[in-house]
A and B are shown apart, each in its own frame.
Chain A
Amino acid sequence: AQSVTQLDSHVSVSEGTPVLLRCNYSSSYSPSLFWYVQHPNKGLQLLLKYTSAATLVKGINGFEAEFKKSETSFHLTKPSAHMSDAAEYFCVVSRINFGNEKLTFGTGTRLTIIP
């Protein structure tokens, strides 16, 4: 079984300040972990993914996430928020190398950027 917990349903930060979106996971297997972003009325876009290579993963638009097995966490960060970062962010887990790669989504974190 696998699950994801996004610790904050809503995060507000000022433009130019750091972003931290928190995610904890639970998995009986070696997990693959992803962050997806969904802008209003748009589809889901992959930000980054972790698949047991480097624990610090860099993604698009300046985002990065660090896999910490001891803490079962995969928090998403960005040094300086931009207005265009306002969106819903989903932390996602799947299993590596199994016959069904269905994704298990967290409940999402809505990021608001204050001008």
Chain B
Amino acid sequence: GAGVSQSPSNKVTEKGKDVELRCDPISGHTALYWYRQSLGQGLEFLIYFQGNSAPDKSGLPSDRFSAERTGGSVSTLTIQRTQQEDSAVYLCASSGGLKRGSTDTQYFGPGTRLTVL
């Protein structure tokens, strides 16, 4: 029933390789978020999907980062040509989507720990 799930839980890769991280949101949730948690940077917003609207990519740190959300459900975060500074825990969250006059709670997945050697 679940909550938000993410895979893999851990990923070790070599510098320069591409990686894909997957997020399965809570069923029926229209909003999906990616965040990054790293030492020295805390938790930072990366990208946001809401329904069929164009995603807000304002938090992506470089053009090596991209994300897509297929069918309004599963999302994949792709990091190309990984660098050591990309090492972090990548968190996905989903929420029910905005209702006028309310704020939806974001529910977080367990994260993917990425280590770039």
A90 and B101 CA atoms in complex are apart in Å by: 24
Q: Bound complex: CA of A96 vs CA of B99, how far in Å?
A: 10
Contact A43 B103 (CB under 8 A): no
Of the candidates B31, B42, B43, the one whose C-beta lies within 8 Å of that of A101 is B31
Contacting residues, chain B, for A101 (C-beta < 8 A): 31, 48, 95, 98, 103-104, 106
| B42-82 contact mask (Cβ, 8 Å, vs A): 1 or 0 | 11110010100100100100000000000000000000000
Number of interface residues of A (CB under 8 A): 25
Decide yes or no whether A110 CB sits under 8 A from chain B.
Answer: no
Pick from A46, A96, A99, A102: contact of B33, CB below 8 A.
Answer: A102
Q: How many residues of B contact A (CB 8 A)?
A: 30
B33 to chain A, nearest CB (A): 7
Q: Are B106 and A103 in contact (CB under 8 A)?
A: yes
Q: Which of A34, A43, A90, A108 contacts B109 (CB 8 A)?
A: A43
Chain A residues near B (Cβ < 8 Å) = 32, 34, 36, 42-46, 49, 51, 90, 94, 96-108
Q: Which residue of A lies closest to B6 (CB)?
A: A43
Q: Pick 19 A–B contacts, CB within 8 A, sort by A.
A: A34-B105, A36-B108, A43-B4, A44-B91, A46-B105, A49-B103, A49-B105, A97-B101, A97-B103, A101-B31, A101-B104, A102-B33, A102-B45, A102-B48, A102-B56, A102-B59, A103-B33, A106-B42, A107-B42
Residues of B within 8 A of A103 (CB): 33, 35, 43, 45, 106
Q: Is the CB of B98 within 8 A of A43?
A: no
Q: How far is the CB of A62 from chain B (nearest CB, A)?
A: 19
Pair B103/A51 contact, Cβ less than 8 Å: yes
Smallest Cβ-Cβ distance to B109: which chain A residue:
A43
B45, A104: Cβ atoms closer than 8 Å: yes
Contacts of A105 in B (CB 8 A): 35, 42-44
B50 touching A99, Cβ below 8 Å: yes
Write out the residue numbers on chain A whose beta carbons fall within 8 Å of the beta carbon of B31: 101
